[in-house]
Amino acid sequence: MAICGIYRIQSIVHPERCYIGSAININQRWRNHLYNLKNSRHNSKLQNHYNKYSKEDLQFSIIEPFEFISKEHLTSREQHYIDVHKPWFNIRNIAESNLGCKHSEESKIKSRGIRKSKKTEFREGSIPWNKGKCGVMPTPWNKGLTKETDIRLEDLGRRSIGNKYGCNAKGKIVSEETRGKMRINCHPPSQKGIKRSEEQKKKRQMSRICGQLEKELNNFINKYVA
């Protein structure tokens, strides 16, 4: 059920630091806050705090729930709590609701142009993302790796790209000799009909008996001892 009203995000380590906001659906707004924090899209104060103390330090609470009347009423109640609590995480001291705001055609064209340019840069390779399925992992996934690991990954990518049996070997012609070797490796000859000596037969029989005894012993230990 959607809850409308005023909410607060408060730090546990620093209780004097909090964020005041308003929303028609508070639960959805809390999910949006977490999404923006995980993707480093929040305001600088709250984002830096989240990066240092993680999500576990942020405590979410509803200050005043009420039925939605109008955008002005929602904004006025938020402004009241901002004036009282003076929230440290809020960048703006004046409550401004984005409810019902429509972007101009100029801003829409700009945002579409930015997204299009980013896609073009990614395709052309100007953004430092590595191409190819067998290449190194994309840069944002390599942040926690050491330099030695990065060098190994780069070397692995080069060897995979140059390998005629790798994922980039589509369309390459393989000789009949190589195909024969691959068939033998994939389908080893059957051992049916091979005659074994009496000594080999005894060894195989003893191996099966030992395996069966070991299995029964483990079952007994698990059932009665453990």
pLDDT digits (tens, 9 = 90+) for 39-74: 998 889 999 999 999 999 999 999 999 988 888 999
* Least confident window among 48-52, 58-62, 82-86, 110-114: 110-114
Number of structural domains (the chain) is 2
Domain of 27? 5-85
What percent of the chain stands above pLDDT 70? 59
Domain finish residue from 32, 64, 85: 85
Same domain, 81 and 12: yes
Choose among 73, 45, 77: nearest CA to 63: 77
- What is the mean pLDDT of the segment spanning 194-206? 82
Phi, psi of 9 (to 5 degrees): -115, 115
Q: Are residues 132 and 80 in the same domain?
A: no
Q: Nearest CA to 20 among 83, 71, 103?
A: 83
What's the residue count for the chain? 226
User: Mean pLDDT throughout 176-189?
Assistant: 71
Indicate whether 100 pLDDT > 50: no
Residue 42 lies in a domain: yes
Q: What does pLDDT average to over the chain? A: 75
pLDDT at 187 over 70: no
Residue 101 lies in a domain: no
* 132 and 68 co-located in one domain: no
Res. 189 pLDDT band, cuts 50 70 90: low
Q: Does some domain include residue 16? A: yes
> Residue 205 above 90 pLDDT?
no
Give one DSSP letter per residue of 58-120, joined into a string: EEEEEEEE-----HHHHHHHHHHHHHHH--SS-S-SS----TT----HHHHHHHHHHHHHHHH
**CATH number of the domain enclosing 49:** 3.40.1440.10
What is the pLDDT at residue 92? Answer: 83
Q: Which residues pair with 54 in a beta bridge?
A: none
Residue 201 has pLDDT above 70, yes or no: yes
pTM strictly above 0.75: no
Q: What is the pLDDT of residue 142?
A: 47
